[in-house]
Amino acid sequence: MAEPLTRRGIPIDRDLRILALGSFANRFGAGAVMTTSALYFTRQVGFTATQVALAMSVSAVVGIVVQMPAGQLGDIRGPREVLMMFMTGAALFSAPPVFARTPWMLALLLGLLAAFERSAGAVNQGVIAQLATGGRGVLFKAYLRAVTNTALGLGSVFGGAALIIDETWAYVAVFFLNAVFTGFAAWNTTRLPHLPAHPREEGEPRLAVLRDVPYVVIAAITGLFSLHFFVMELGLALYISKHTEAPTVMVAVLLIINTAMVALFQVRLSRRADSVEAGARALVRGACWIAGGFAVVGLADRGGAWFAVAALVAGSLVHVVGEMIGSGGQWGLQMGLAPHERQGQYQGFAGLGFSIMAVIGPPIVTFFCVDQGERGWYMLAGIMVGIALVSVPAARWALASRARYGVTTHSG
């Protein structure tokens, strides 16, 4: 039986405490910037919303490109040292975007920042997989998700203060606050133990994960499963404003509910996903809850404001249960099937699914949630269950391929 992960809400293992502290600091600053950046660049600098969106799209594409090579670099050069390098770069480039005065300069600076941030994220996933051993991998990722959600929420309070002040200096201070906290997170990585590098063996391809067809299939499934995040972040907001009588402030209320639920229950609801097959089953259970939440949300256009509010709150509560269970399933599959010495490369590749969905997801959810209305929510419910059901035979196939070739995978 795996040893307890935490005592009084704090990881027992020193290395996991260090990782949690770094993640909290990093996401605290990010929460402040996320709250203010769009309004700063449009209201204070004078960019159009389209120009800001395009600059952010450039950074998203950069993030897609760098993740897998960065993860591989961590594997072959040493995860801790590579992580420290990328985190230092992220700290140095966190503040400069605030000084951009042309759209192309904003795109360039956000792209550079994304290159370091996404690279650090990919390497960090490999570090987690190597340090959270003994059946603690999925639970620790669940714990980190609760920690980062809390950090984002607290950081957004500081961002909200800048919005209330609504002066250029306040927005600039938010960007520098992010740089300071990211710098602390970079220093914090020096406290981690040295992890051995695993240079490529003779004849091994540079990106071996691309030839691991079963893992590619699993990464595609978990990436598609991530669609529900964008449904609730973007599709729900559009649905509320276009199809229901609910006040638009419900968008913020539902976000707060989601954040609080994840902080309180993510670890508890991820306990049964600590192996590949258990992860696939958790994905199915999560999808059923998500589908139920979508179905309830879809009813919000059938009545007045109070009915809509009730349906939205109830649907969001049902959905977040599925989100937490399904997240555990995703981690169980992604970590459990990756070779231990190539966790950085494999986790970087697995992260591509979410990154690609961030690019293609918005038009998909707009079609279903806005153009199709209530019917679209029912269609999305069926899609989520279908994606999850495919994961069960795919996971068995992937496990069989590892047994056949003697691949040593992560213990969970």
What is the amino acid identity at position 147? V
Q: How far apart are CA 332 and CA 282, in angstroms?
A: 9
Residue type (1 letter), 101 = R
Task: Please report, for the domain that includes residue 389, its CATH number.
Answer: 1.20.1250.20
Q: Tokens 């269970």 correspond to what residue?
A: 325
Instruction: Tell me: pLDDT of 244 over 90.
Output: yes
Evaluate the CA torsion angle 390, 396, 401, 407 in order and state its sign: positive
pLDDT at 3: 67
Give the residue from 235, 189, 7 showing the smallest Cα distance to 88. 189
**Which pair of tokens denotes residue 145?**
């998700």
Judge whether 123 and 344 are in contact, CB under 8 Å.
yes
User: Mean pLDDT throughout 317-340?
Assistant: 92
Torsion (CA) 379, 385, 388, 392 in degrees, nearest 10:
-140
Same domain, 218 and 298: yes
Confidence category of residue 1, pLDDT binned at 50, 70, 90: very low
- Stretch 10-32: mean pLDDT: 93
Q: Which of 272-286, 297-311, 354-368, 395-409 has the largest mean confidence? A: 297-311
pLDDT score recorded for residue 2? 53
* Calpha distance 272→114 (Å, rounded): 34
Name 409's Cβ contacts closer than 8 Å, sequence gap at least 6: 276, 336, 337, 338, 339, 340, 402
The top-scoring range by mean pLDDT among 72-81, 270-279, 343-352 is 72-81
Are 266 and 341 within one domain? yes
| Confidence at residue 80, expressed as pLDDT on a 0 to 100 scale | 93
Phi, psi of 12 (to 5 degrees): -70, -40
Q: What is the total count of domains within the chain?
A: 2
Q: Which two tokens mark 123?
A: 């390497």
Question: What pLDDT, on a 0 to 100 scale, did the predictor assign at position 376?
Answer: 96
Query: For residues 271 and 121, which has the higher predicted lDDT (pLDDT)?
Result: 121
Asked which of 156, 191, 226 is the last residue of a domain, the reply is 191
On whether the CB atoms of residues 409 and 338 are closer than 8 A, the answer is yes
Identity of residue 47: F
Clarify whether residues 42 and 68 are in a common domain. Answer: yes
pLDDT band at 406 (very low <50, low <70, confident <90, very high): very low
- Same structural domain for residues 90 and 237? no
170 & 212 share domain: no
Q: Are residues 217 and 179 in the same domain?
A: no
Which domain-ending residue is among 138, 162, 191?
Answer: 191
Token pair for 412 = 């969970």
For residue 409, pLDDT beyond 60: no
- Look at the chain and count its residues: 412
Instruction: State pLDDT tens for residues 170-214.
Output: 999 999 999 999 999 999 999 999 988 888 776 677 778 888 999
Residues 317 and 348 in one domain: yes
Rounded Cα gap, residues 217 and 223, in angstroms: 10
User: How many Cβ atoms sit within 10 Å of the Cβ of residue 24?
Assistant: 21
Distances from the Cα of 27 to the Cα of 22, 62, 178, 230, angstroms = 9, 20, 9, 19
Of 59-63, 109-113, 252-256, the one with minimum mean pLDDT is 252-256
Give me the pLDDT at residue 407, please: 52
What's the start-to-end Cα distance of the chain, in Å? 12
Q: Quote the domain boundaries for residue 122.
A: 6-191
Both 156 and 281 in one domain: the answer is no
Q: What does the pLDDT look like over 281-306, one tens digit per residue?
A: 999 999 999 999 999 999 999 999 99
